[in-house]
Amino acid sequence: MSWRLTAFNASTTEAQAVALAAPILTGADASLADASARVQGVSLAYSPNPLATQASEAAAAREAYQALMHYEGQILCVHPFQEGVADGSGLYRYLSAPNAAARLAAKLTDAQDAGRPLGQLDAVALLIVARDLAGFAERLAAFNAVFPAPELQLAQRRAAQLATLEQEKWLLPDAPLTPPWVARDGLQIPRLAQHGRAVGAQLATAQGYAAETPSPIAELQAVIERKRQHLQQLQSHYDQLKSQLTGQAGYALYAEGDASAVAAQLQAGAPGHEYVLTAGALFVADAGRLTFLKETFGL
């Protein structure tokens, strides 16, 4: 075949699609009037749900549980990549477990910090420890999946990037030839996109009448089935979240008292310097407000 002169033309496929929808849309008014008349003749009998009385206490339980979780407190995070916190230089920074605990304790009693917590406190501290960057990134990812903290998410990305760098810094990939292939969709062309929306709206409206053919009984059975599936999804989601709150997350500690008392407890019995990479998270709130976190970490 050879090159030939061409011009823009209306699409035959578009005309066929519009012709298919036209008779359906023309009969829409009569169909709506008939549907209105049928609705007027329907008689409904109402039966109350037998679970309503049993479920009346659920609202109070939900409010009490939300109040337990909705504590107003503060969180303090330390990790090796913070300036002035860790040892080392350049890309490679280290923070051992005892030093991380000491920095958390020092911030509690930092007289120059106007935002430090005061009064009688409940505190839950967690030390996420590792001996190498890959393990550090993996344990931070497990913690951030349940208790995402922006500071520790940053540390997780940095540790993962440095671990990848260690493995791939000697690889020298070849560059592809130019020019590059570019992905293109017909709907990226504005004129074609306008025609597509116009034809799609007509076909979608026509297609909607096919959904009106099932009987009301079949539609109610479908609603019941969707509700059954929803309940199964709720249980599955709860079981999945519960499994995420099990397993080893690091070294945890619960402390109470004023800031000085909590600081002293943080430094007592901390893991050793063999863990050269450590991230610390310290949750503090008014006394009695960290019940949920205490139960989560088994404290």
Query: Each residue of 123-139: pLDDT tens digit?
Result: 888 888 888 999 899 88
Give 176's pLDDT tier (boundaries 50, 70, 90): confident
Give 7's pLDDT tier (boundaries 50, 70, 90): low
The answer, yes or no, to whether residue 237 has pLDDT greater than 70, is: yes
* pLDDT of amino acid 4: 62
Q: Answer whether 284's CB lies under 8 Å from 76's CB.
A: yes
The answer, yes or no, to whether residue 12 has pLDDT greater than 60, is: yes
Q: What is the mean pLDDT of residues 48-71?
A: 70
The answer, yes or no, to whether residue 157 has pLDDT greater than 90, is: yes
Mention every residue, 6+ apart, whose C-beta is less than 8 A from residue 146.
Answer: 244, 245, 249
**Closest Cα partner for 96 from 72, 80, 118, 84?**
80
DSSP tag of 95: B
pTM, full prediction? 0.59
The answer, yes or no, to whether residue 245 has pLDDT greater than 60, is: no
Mention every residue, 6+ apart, whose C-beta is less than 8 A from residue 53.
Answer: none
Mean pLDDT of the residues in the chain? 79
The answer, yes or no, to whether residue 11 has pLDDT greater than 70, is: no
* pLDDT of amino acid 80: 92
Instruction: Find residue 89's DSSP bridge partners.
Output: 92
d(CA 108, CA 262): 8
Look up residue 62 and give its two tokens. 């939900």
The answer, yes or no, to whether residue 10 has pLDDT greater than 60, is: no
Lowest mean pLDDT among 31-35, 150-154, 194-198, 220-224: 31-35
Give 37's pLDDT tier (boundaries 50, 70, 90): confident
**Closest Cα partner for 108 from 259, 243, 277?**
259
The answer, yes or no, to whether residue 239 has pLDDT greater than 70, is: yes
* pLDDT of amino acid 118: 82
* pLDDT of amino acid 84: 83
Give 51's pLDDT tier (boundaries 50, 70, 90): low
Whose tokens are 């310290």? That residue is: 282
The answer, yes or no, to whether residue 46 has pLDDT greater than 70, is: no
Burial class from Cβ neighbours inside 10 Å (0-12, 13-18, 19+) for residue 141 reads middle
The answer, yes or no, to whether residue 1 has pLDDT greater than 60, is: no
Q: Answer whether 105's CB lies under 8 Å from 264's CB.
A: yes
What Cα–Cα distance (Å) separates residue 110 from each residue in 114, 169, 213, 260? 9, 41, 72, 10
Q: Answer whether 106's CB lies under 8 Å from 263's CB.
A: yes
* pLDDT of amino acid 147: 83
The answer, yes or no, to whether residue 289 has pLDDT greater than 60, is: yes
Query: What does the pLDDT look like over 181-234, one tens digit per residue?
Result: 888 887 777 877 787 788 878 777 777 776 666 677 777 788 878 888 888 888
